[in-house]
Amino acid sequence: MLTAKKVELILQKCAEAFLIAITVTLLIISVILFFEFLLASPNLLHIEEIILSGHMKDATESLKEIISPLLMFVIVVELIIMLLKHQPRIVFDVLLIAIAREIIIAGHDFKNVLLGTLSLLILFFIRKFLTLKGVPPGTAVIIDPYITIESLNEMLDVHIPFEEDKYLIDLIERIARERGIALKKKKTIDIANVKIEILDLDEKGKPILVRVIKTA
């Protein structure tokens, strides 16, 4: 019989698979459109001729026609990274590139350029002063062990390796097997620069609630 936890895990796996499918589709479409853009853009082949001929206005317009779609491809790549890594800070990068692209498109429209520049300044201010710079040692969080290790690293500013294991629960169980540790309540495991304390287990002895303490 499926427990609520197992159903939740199955749904999470399905959602992740669907997200990966969307991401791969977006990447394939972007690659195809990128090569079509390279083949179809005449300015890529003749931009140096326009510059050498002295027609700087035409050269500027040609550069805008090239840079604008290229920045759009960069935005798509950043979105793909954001979908895969689930890191909120990447949102700032996407917004910065998107606003920069709009400023380039605006060209000589002073009002739009000014608004875009102010938006960039606001984003830089938010990123510099209002985002978490670091988490001091001794900080502890009580979390579900089915969190991804990458998300935990981002949350606590730690460096737990996740090449072999994607979820914290997988890492805990693997380390416990390798070290011959019996998983039980109040048991602690040192991994990298964190200490993990088991707070609760299910009927099969799998951790369902842990406390993670940053040690360094």
pLDDT tens by residue, 138-189: 888 888 888 888 888 877 888 888 777 788 998 999 988 998 888 888 898 9
> pLDDT-based confidence at 196, cuts 50/70/90?
very high
Q: Collapse the DSSP code of 145 into the 3-class scheme (helix H, G, I; strand E, B; otherwise coil) and give the result.
A: coil
163 shares a domain with 70: no
Q: In the predicted model, is pLDDT for residue 62 greater than 80?
A: no
At 27, the pLDDT band (50, 70, 90 cuts) reads confident
Output the pLDDT for position 141: 87
Q: Say if residue 111 is in the same domain as residue 204.
A: no
Least confident of 6-10, 43-47, 155-159: 43-47
pLDDT at 211: 92
Q: Give the pLDDT confidence score for residue 212 in this predicted structure.
A: 92
- Report the number of distinct structural domains present in the chain: 2
Rounded Cα distance, 209 and 62, in Å: 58
Domain containing 155 equals 140-214
Question: DSSP character for 142?
Answer: E
Confidence of residue 102 (pLDDT cuts 50, 70, 90): confident
* CATH number for 206: 3.30.465.10
In the block, residue with structure tokens 């459109």: 33
State the pLDDT confidence band at 67, using cuts at 50, 70 and 90.
Answer: confident
Q: What is the pLDDT of residue 85?
A: 64
Q: For residue 106, give the nearest of 120, 91, 122, 92 by alpha carbon.
A: 120
Identify the pLDDT of residue 49: 56
What values do phi and psi take at 30, rounded to 5?
Answer: -65, -40
Same domain? For 195 and 175 the reply is yes
In the prediction, which pLDDT does 40 show?
67
CA atoms within 13 A on the CB side of 212: 27
Provide the pLDDT confidence category of residue 197 given band limits of 50, 70 and 90. Answer: very high
Radius of gyration, alpha carbons of the chain: 24
Percentage above 90 pLDDT, the chain = 5
Q: Judge if 119 and 154 occupy the same domain.
A: no
Measured distance CA(31)–CA(38) in Å, rounded = 11
Residue 24: Cβ within 10 Å count: 11
Shared domain check, 197 and 104: no
90 and 194 share a domain? Answer: no
Please report the pLDDT score of residue 54 as a whole number. Answer: 53
Model confidence pTM above 0.85: no
**pLDDT, mean of residues 79-105:** 71
Final residue in a domain of this structure, among 110, 129, 148: 129
Predicted confidence at residue 26, as pLDDT, reads 84
Same domain assignment for residues 63 and 159: no
